[in-house]
Structure 1
């Protein structure tokens, strides 16, 4: 793989991890967003899916995000009879967002982002050293 392809692969990883961090931030921002009407559905946690794709021009395998899907896990129920979103029994469906899970996912996304930045920096350093040797 040449240096241009390696930078292209790392750049696709940066885009994917950046999108992942934005989705996690959205999940955390909506962790307490309940429905506006009684018995309605609260915010559903979103999860990006990654896929490796081959770039036809360079032949490099890049990362793409084909979809951002809703998490199918159940909504927790909390007894809050005074809440406007409460059903007839006084229970409110809460979002299926777990702040600890989101924090762990955010840390993993940050590390993936940093790893891609380091790979780009290594490619840049190798290019500069090659140029220096050719002088």
Structure 2
């Protein structure tokens, strides 16, 4: 596989990974205040995307992939709200372990990585197109 095709494959994998990462961050933000529906139950647990390195057999390059999505194991925060349906016997409600500031930073990072991969993809695509045009014109 030639270098430009490998570049397309790597950039495409990066686009897929960062797109999923942005979806997971969006879900985390949407559920930042989602408590349990049952008394004393656990609220929404922040999700994290786990990455893995993938060796491309056709070349000496490596790419990125997703090994899975896991729950953040940080403790839930508690607030005192004895009237809440999810409050335990002491009146405390477990709140999600989602920090909107961290989520926004993750979203910004994922968006920048997505844009960088998109630029790589566009450049490789354009170079392939120019190569084909040069071959057609016989120069």
TM-score, with normalisation over the residues of structure 1?
A: 0.93
TM-fit CA distance, 1:130 = 2.7
TM-fit CA distance, 1:59 = 4.4
Equivalent in the alignment of 1:28: 29
Equivalent in the alignment of 2:19: 18
RMSD of aligned alpha carbons:
1.4
Equivalent in the alignment of 2:61: 60
Equivalent in the alignment of 1:123: 124
TM-fit CA distance, 1:85 = 0.4
Question: C-alpha separation between the residues in 2 aligned to 1:53 and 1:132?
Answer: 32
Moved over 3 A (4+): 57-60, 131-134
Unaligned runs of 5+ in 2: none
Tell me how many residue pairs correspond in the alignment: 135
TM-fit CA distance, 1:89 = 1.1
Equivalent in the alignment of 2:100: 99
TM-fit CA distance, 1:51 = 1.0
Question: C-alpha separation between the residues in 1 aligned to 2:115 and 2:122?
Answer: 10
Instruction: Report the 3-state secondary structure (helix = DSSP H, G, I; strand = E; otherwise coil) of the residue aligned with 2:132.
Output: helix
**CA deviation map 1:1-47 (0-9, x unaligned):** 61011100000000000110111111111111101111111110000
Equivalent in the alignment of 2:88: 87
Question: C-alpha separation between the residues in 1 aligned to 2:132 and 2:86?
Answer: 65
Question: C-alpha separation between the residues in 1 aligned to 2:64 and 2:15?
Answer: 9
**CA deviation map 1:52-99 (0-9, x unaligned):** 111224443121111111101110101111001001111100000011
Question: C-alpha separation between the residues in 2 aligned to 1:57 and 1:125?
Answer: 22
Instruction: Report the 3-state secondary structure (helix = DSSP H, G, I; strand = E; otherwise coil) of the residue aligned with 2:19.
Output: helix
TM-score, with normalisation over the residues of structure 2?
A: 0.91
